[in-house]
Amino acid sequence: MKIIQSPEEMQLAAQTLRREGKTTGFVPTMGFLHEGHLSLMRLARERCDVLVASIFVNPTQFGPNEDLDAYPRDFERDEKLCREEGVDFLFYPTPENMYLDGHSIWVDEESLSGVLCGAARPGHFRGVCTVVTKLLNIVLPHFMVMGEKDAQQLRVLRRMVRDLNIPVDIVPGPIVREADGLAMSSRNKFLSPEERQEALCLFQGLEKAKELFAAGERDAAVLKAVIREIIEQTSGIVDYIEIVDDESLQRFRTTCGEPVELLEKPALVALAVNFYGARLIDNAVLAK
């Protein structure tokens, strides 16, 4: 495995691979790798000649009161895991060589990014879209594997590559969970033992919503209320509980003038809950 810090060196290597006719798969991460990340690398490894992973804690997607400085980092451990998963190139740039002095160009998405996490984190998706565009221009992959846990991010980036004609396929990787259902996240390490147990409320709420949906419930307000009741039995503070169209991320229409949201198409149930130690997200798709 070759570790590269310079964007110019990585891009030159990527251009060489393209000329050689090699298929390149790419898994972008912010490091502190867990089984969820590794599952994406395995998915990519099956489909490509050359696997590139990146580790970059992108400062432009963090707000002024968010956990940029506290975000967990362990490069030596991450490097070892990447080697074990058969990564060929590990791109590990610094903020200074990703954002040069006077950086003034940004990539904004103006439809899907204003809701859910985007509503709570202004500027977050501008940072995400900008850094992923830069990474794609540097790594030049044929496809990029993204986890389904960050549901809004996956949909925003799909729209970005479509609208900007970026020649890359986005391959989704399923959510990887602990044995008890908690979605794997680098931020889970910040939970106290008590919060770790309480954090199961996200998974439990989603499972209850799926159960009710399977039994015929189609009123989004009812499903959201059930999820909220489960979460509010813990110390978690709800950031949002939303049920939206799985493609447009817009709420479902009201019917007959009544404030009732009926699920008419595949729906994304998305949650964000704050514990003292961490902000956790999770989701599920409801479809007939």
Report whether pLDDT(275) > 70: yes
pLDDT interval class at 102 (50, 70, 90): very high
pLDDT interval class at 256 (50, 70, 90): low
Which helix or strand (DSSP H or E) is residue 151 part of?
helix 151-163
Report whether pLDDT(245) > 60: yes
Given 37, 103, 124, 142, the catalytic residue: 37
Pair type for strands 279-286 and 267-274: antiparallel
User: Hunting for tokens 């502190």 — which residue is that?
Assistant: 32
In this prediction the pTM is: 0.94
Q: Domain 2-173 classified CATH 3.40.50.620? A: yes
Is residue 34 within 8 Å of 186, Cβ to Cβ?
Answer: yes
Report whether pLDDT(255) > 80: no
| 3-class secondary-structure state, position 272 | strand
| 3-class secondary-structure state, position 143 | strand
Q: Is 37 a catalytic residue?
A: yes
Q: At what angle do helices 151-163 and 124-139 cross, to 10 degrees?
A: 60
Distance CA 37, CA 184 (A): 9
CATH for the stretch 186-286: 3.30.1300.10
Is residue 71 within 8 Å of 44, Cβ to Cβ?
Answer: no
Question: Residue 274: how many CB atoms within 10 A of its CB?
Answer: 14
Give the least confident one: 72-81, 164-173, 212-221, 261-270.
Answer: 261-270
Question: Residue 158: how many CB atoms within 10 A of its CB?
Answer: 16
| 3-class secondary-structure state, position 8 | helix
Give 178-231 pLDDT, tens digit per residue: 999 999 999 999 999 999 999 999 999 999 999 999 999 999 999 999 999 999
Give 1-53 pLDDT, tens digit per residue: 999 999 999 999 999 999 999 999 999 999 999 999 999 999 999 999 999 99
How much is the pLDDT for 252? 78
Dihedral over Cα of 115, 120, 123, 126: its sign: negative
| DSSP-assigned letters across all residues of 15-84 | HHHHHTT--EEEEEE-SS--HHHHHHHHHHHTT-SEEEEEE---GGGS-TTSSTTTS---HHHHHHHHHH
Pair type for strands 237-245 and 267-274: antiparallel
User: Hunting for tokens 């106290």 — which residue is that?
Assistant: 192
Topology agreement, domain 2-173 and domain 186-286? no
Higher pLDDT, residue 259 or 70 = 70
Could you tell me which residues come within 8 angstroms of residue 52 by beta carbon, excluding any fewer than 6 positions away? 10, 14, 24, 25, 26, 27, 87, 88, 89, 90, 91, 139, 141
Report whether pLDDT(258) > 60: no
Strand 267-274: give its sheet, edge to edge: 237-245, 267-274, 279-286
The domain spans of the chain are 2-173, 186-286
Q: Which two tokens stand for residue 202?
A: 């996200």
Q: Residue 33: name the closest of 179, 174, 186 by CA.
A: 186
Mean pLDDT of the chain: 95
Report whether pLDDT(261) > 90: no
Give 123-165 pLDDT, tens digit per residue: 999 999 999 999 999 999 999 999 999 999 999 999 999 999 9
| 3-class secondary-structure state, position 156 | helix
The dihedrals phi and psi of 21, each to the nearest 5 degrees, come to: 80, 20
How much is the pLDDT for 265? 87
Q: Residue 38: name the closest of 156, 202, 184, 136 by CA.
A: 184
Report whether pLDDT(55) > 80: yes
